[in-house]
């Protein structure tokens, strides 16, 4: 056994690592913002039993939560063009992330909305707030705050899951890893470094989202 | 492309699904055993095993499953072991499963009131005996629902093993989609296959959870 590790061989491709990291972050950010927005809409439809949307969202949530992200991605990228819906690898990746996170956040946020004490809504009504105002100012902020840690975890899970987007040739971080190891033949070192980058991203995203939760939702400095 | 009928597609996908199931069961059984060991370390009296278990859990929960599989696959050949995709996938998913189950079960153990620990300690039970006779039987009751729920994540996780070349449901689907030029149909069937495996587990987990909360409120 005389294998000599060569980690510097990985850092000769720092530009590829940085580009991949940036794209993984961008994919996650776009997916998180739109996915959580979709989740809020879905959660409202489910919690308030807005027919027929509550049923539609229920089916959507079950379909997405019971199939792998990789299969959703393949279905969107390879399957949809067969029925005339063309898209490039980035559009497919972004759409897959939004659809996936949308389903999970629907369930997560619904739990928060349904945990709103009845008295709060009655109090809002007694102040002559309409339904939308009640939702916007009384129901949503505490509901989001309650489930924010679960949403953070889900966004991190989704970010880690985007590594399979390399399979449709979206040039994110894992794609960069595959490219680098095909150049330097240092597969182990390359994947080790990239795994470490993902780990740091996971920590960073969680920290950032907790900050956002504190500032924007709880309105604390 | 014409000599592959829809029936052939379904039959081949079924064969692939058998391997998905085999990998899921392997990962779940061995991941459960390893997870139990990590659980014990995670709630140990001494700080060192607690920290090691925490590090293990954070690493496996904080990195992509695909990267874990790549590292096992390529790391194995580095130390001279010729690891087949099946072995790499089984090891990778077992480690992945053990980390999540240990963390889920820790939550269940910590949900047991402190008084139970104190009462059993006052009966001169050792820490292991306390776990074995007092804490785990009660923790088990609340652990079943989230454990069944997590099994869905294991089944879905096996799809990633297709990327290192393990021929299960997703890989079979990719090959069939290439051979038949009918990706919409094939990946639709693949998704249905996963749904058929996962939905009963999800529904069962939900029923268990409801029963547990119902039992508590009485």
DSSP A172-215: SHHHHHHHHHHHH--HHHHHHHHHHHHHHHHHHHHHHHHHHIII
pLDDT score at A220:
65
pLDDT score at B125:
92
Contact (CB, 8 A) for B96 and B65: yes
Tell me the pLDDT band of B218, cut-offs 50, 70 and 90.
very low
Tell me the pLDDT band of A1, cut-offs 50, 70 and 90.
low
**Torsion angle of C-alpha atoms A169, A170, A172, A174, degrees rounded to 10:** -30
Nearest to B151, CA basis, from B9, B70, B32, B68: B32
Tell me the pLDDT band of B76, cut-offs 50, 70 and 90.
confident
Is A79 in contact with B184 (Cβ distance < 8 A)? yes
Q: What is the mean pLDDT of residues B18-40?
A: 97
CB-based contact (8 Å) between A75 and chain B?
yes
- In percent, the amount of chain A with pLDDT more than 70 equals 98
Q: What angle do CA B156, B96, B100 make, to 5 degrees?
A: 90
Q: Say yes or no to pLDDT of B215 above 70.
A: no
Q: Which chain B residues are within 8 Å of A67, Cβ to Cβ? A: 156, 191, 194-195, 198
Phi, psi of B142 (to 5 degrees): -85, -10
- In percent, the amount of chain B with pLDDT more than 90 equals 85
CA B84 to chain centre: 20
Q: What is the mean pLDDT of residues B170-194?
A: 96
Tell me the pLDDT band of B80, cut-offs 50, 70 and 90.
confident
Give the span between the Cα atoms of A197 and B41, in whole angstroms: 27
Q: What is the mean pLDDT of residues A17-28?
A: 97
Give the span between the Cα atoms of B170 and B17, in whole angstroms: 8
Q: What is the mean pLDDT of residues B88-113?
A: 96
Residue of B nearest to A200 (CA): B62
Tokens of B39: 């659980």
Is B160 in contact with A68 (Cβ distance < 8 A)? yes
Q: What is the mean pLDDT of residues A185-200?
A: 95
Mutate to test the interface with B, among A191, A196, A201 (most CBs of B within 10 A): A191
Q: Say yes or no to pLDDT of B81 above 90.
A: no
Q: Which residue has the tokens 């008295």?
A: A119
Domain A17-217 falls in which CATH fold?
MetI-like fold (1.10.3720)
Contact (CB, 8 A) for B19 and B165: no
Q: Say yes or no to pLDDT of B217 above 50.
A: no
Do you find a cis peptide bond into A150, omega within 30 degrees of 0?
no
Q: What is the mean pLDDT of residues A198-212?
A: 96
In sequence order, which ranges of B4-84 are alpha helices (DSSP H)?
6-42, 47-61, 65-78
Tell me the pLDDT band of A217, cut-offs 50, 70 and 90.
confident
pLDDT score at B82:
85
Look up residue A166 and give its DSSP letter: G
Q: Measured on CA atoms in the order B197, B195, B153, B210, is the torsion positive or negative?
A: negative
Question: What is the tens place of the pLDDT at every residue in A175-187?
Answer: 999 999 999 989 9
pLDDT score at A41:
96
Q: Say yes or no to pLDDT of A102 above 50.
A: yes
Tokens of A57: 């969202």
pLDDT score at A210:
94
Contact (CB, 8 A) for B187 and A79: yes
Region of poorest pLDDT, from A150-154, B180-184, B188-192, B208-212? B208-212
Average pLDDT, chain B: 93
Q: Which chain A residues are within 8 Å of B189, Cβ to Cβ? A: none
Give the span between the Cα atoms of A94 and A102, in whole angstroms: 12
Is A67 in contact with B162 (Cβ distance < 8 A)? no
User: CB A219: neighbour CB atoms within 10 A?
Assistant: 9
How many angstroms away from the CA of A71 is the closest CA of chain B?
A: 6
Q: Distances from the Cα of A59 to the Cαs of A53, A101, A103, A192, in angstroms? A: 10, 15, 10, 39
Contact (CB, 8 A) for B89 and B164: yes
Q: Which chain B residues are within 8 Å of A108, Cβ to Cβ? A: none
Tell me the pLDDT band of B216, cut-offs 50, 70 and 90.
low
Is B195 in contact with A198 (Cβ distance < 8 A)? no
Q: Which chain B residues are within 8 Å of A198, Cβ to Cβ? A: 62-64, 67
Q: What is the mean pLDDT of residues A117-127?
A: 92
Contact (CB, 8 A) for B28 and B34: no
Nearest to A73, CA basis, from A180, A177, A158: A158
Question: What is the tens place of the pLDDT at every residue in B115-125?
Answer: 999 999 999 99
Give the span between the Cα atoms of A164 and B204, in whole angstroms: 29
How many angstroms away from the CA of A177 is the closest CA of chain B?
A: 10
Contact (CB, 8 A) for A98 and A162: no
Question: What is the tens place of the pLDDT at every residue in B37-66?
Answer: 999 999 998 999 999 999 999 999 999 999
Is B188 in contact with A195 (Cβ distance < 8 A)? no
């Amino acid at each position: 056994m005389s294998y000599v590790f060569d980690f510097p061989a990985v850092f000769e491709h720092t530009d590829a690592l940085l580009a991949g990291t940036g794209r993984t972050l961008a994919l996650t950010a776009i997916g998180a913002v739109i996915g959580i927005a979709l989740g809020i809409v879905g959660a409202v439809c489910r919690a308030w039993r807005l027919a027929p949307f509550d049923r539609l969202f229920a089916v959507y949530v079950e379909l997405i939560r019971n199939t792998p992200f990789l299969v959703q991605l393949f279905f969107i990228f390879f399957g949809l063009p067969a029925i005339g819906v063309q898209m490039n690898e980035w559009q497919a990746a972004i759409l897959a992330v939004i659809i996936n996170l949308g389903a999970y956040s629907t369930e997560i946020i619904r739990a928060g909305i349904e945990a709103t004490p009845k008295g709060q809504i009655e109090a809002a009504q007694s102040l002559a707030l309409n339904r939308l105002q009640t939702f916007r100012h009384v129901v949503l902020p505490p509901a989001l705050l309650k489930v924010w840690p679960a949403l953070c975890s889900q966004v991190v899970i989704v970010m880690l899951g985007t590594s399979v987007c390399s399979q449709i040739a979206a040039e994110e971080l894992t794609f960069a890893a595959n490219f680098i190891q095909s150049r330097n033949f240092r597969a182990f070192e390359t994947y080790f470094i990239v795994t470490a980058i993902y780990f740091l991203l996971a920590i960073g995203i969680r920290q950032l989202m907790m900050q956002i939760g504190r500032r924007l939702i709880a309105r604390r400095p | 492309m014409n000599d592959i009928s829809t029936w052939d597609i379904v039959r081949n996908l079924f064969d692939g699904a058998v391997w998905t199931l085999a990998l899921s069961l392997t990962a779940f059984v061995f991941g459960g055993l390893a997870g139990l060991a990590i659980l014990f370390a995670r709630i140990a009296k001494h700080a060192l095993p607690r920290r090691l278990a925490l590090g293990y859990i954070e690493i496996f929960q904080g990195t992509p499953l695909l990267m874990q599989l790549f590292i096992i696959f390529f790391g194995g050949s580095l130390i001279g072991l010729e690891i087949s995709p099946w072995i790499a996938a089984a090891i990778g998913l077992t480690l992945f499963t053990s980390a999540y189950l240990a963390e889920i079960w820790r939550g269940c153990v910590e949900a047991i009131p402190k008084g139970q620990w104190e009462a059993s300690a006052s009966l001169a039970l050792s820490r292991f005996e306390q776990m074995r006779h007092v804490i785990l039987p009660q923790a088990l009751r609340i652990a079943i629902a989230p454990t069944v729920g997590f099994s869905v994540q294991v089944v879905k996780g096996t799809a990633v093993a297709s990327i290192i070349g393990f021929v299960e449901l997703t890989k079979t689907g990719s090959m069939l989609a290439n051979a038949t030029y009918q990706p919409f149909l094939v990946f639709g069937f693949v998704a249905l296959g996963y749904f058929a495996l996962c939905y009963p587990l999800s529904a069962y987990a939900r029923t268990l959870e409801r029963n547990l909360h119902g039992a508590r409120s009485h």
